[in-house]
Amino acid sequence: MSLKSTVMKAELQLSDLDRNRYGTFPLTLAQHPSETDLRLMVRVLAFALYADERLALGRGLSSEDEPDLWRRDYSGEIEQWIDLGQPEESRIRKACGRAREVVVVSYSGRSAAVWWEKQRGFLQRQKNLTLIDIDGAQAEALAGLVERSMRLTVMIQDAVVQVMSDAGSVEVTPRVLVGQWPDPPA
């Protein structure tokens, strides 16, 4: 008997001053039994960084053929593929071939740094790749905001993200290792 995902709801109120993007996004997140609260909240953070009406949550850990988040154009082509963690080189290569833009958001502190050093040469050669690193302690603090039903207010200004909820407030300063800070959707 397999364990079922836990359904989490988040209302994300976004004020992205860097991209001049504002709105409320209702998110339904299926938290796979093996997905930690930390990873779940990094998914929400990645959504906030790249928020768009067409940005959709993938099936996450339950599907190897889908990213954690993605945006398709109106013809169904993949515009943006967003993965979390430390994907294998073959997965990144595949994503770079399928999507116009690929984003990897790493978040696990020291192990992310080791992964980055090992993959640096390959990652820097990919033309359509952006790699963003979230400090491990900041990501852990985000995990402390998890609730089954969340109302999150996210403000992004000068590449600093402030995430606020009834459970507290966390400031995150993502570091761009490859590529550039998120641009407004085309």
Q: What is the pLDDT of residue 62?
A: 53
pLDDT (tens digit per residue) in 40-57: 999 999 999 999 999 999
CATH class of 6-178: alpha beta
Element (H, E) at 102: strand 101-106
Count Cβ atoms within 10 A of the Cβ of residue 92 and give its class: 0-12 exposed, 13-18 middle, 19 or more buried: buried
- The four Cα atoms 100, 95, 138, 152 give a dihedral, to 10 degrees, of 60
Confidence of residue 61 (pLDDT cuts 50, 70, 90): low
On whether the CB atoms of residues 24 and 166 are closer than 8 A, the answer is: no
Round to whole Å and give the CA distance between 9 and 26: 8
| Residue whose pair of structure tokens reads 């928020």 in the numeric block | 51
Torsion sign (Cα): 86, 91, 96, 102: negative
pLDDT in the model for residue 96: 95
Distance CA 185, CA 176 (A): 18
Block residue for tokens 């990144």: 92
Domain ranges for the chain, please list them: 6-178
Give per-residue pLDDT as tens, 1-23: 467 888 899 999 999 999 999 99
Work out the average pLDDT over 120-149.
93
Hey, is 81 helix, strand or coil? strand
**For residue 116, pLDDT beyond 50:** yes
Contact between 103 and 81 (Cβ < 8 Å): yes
Is the Cα torsion angle 72, 131, 62, 147 positive or negative in sign? negative
- Count CB atoms within 10 A of the CB of residue 180: 8
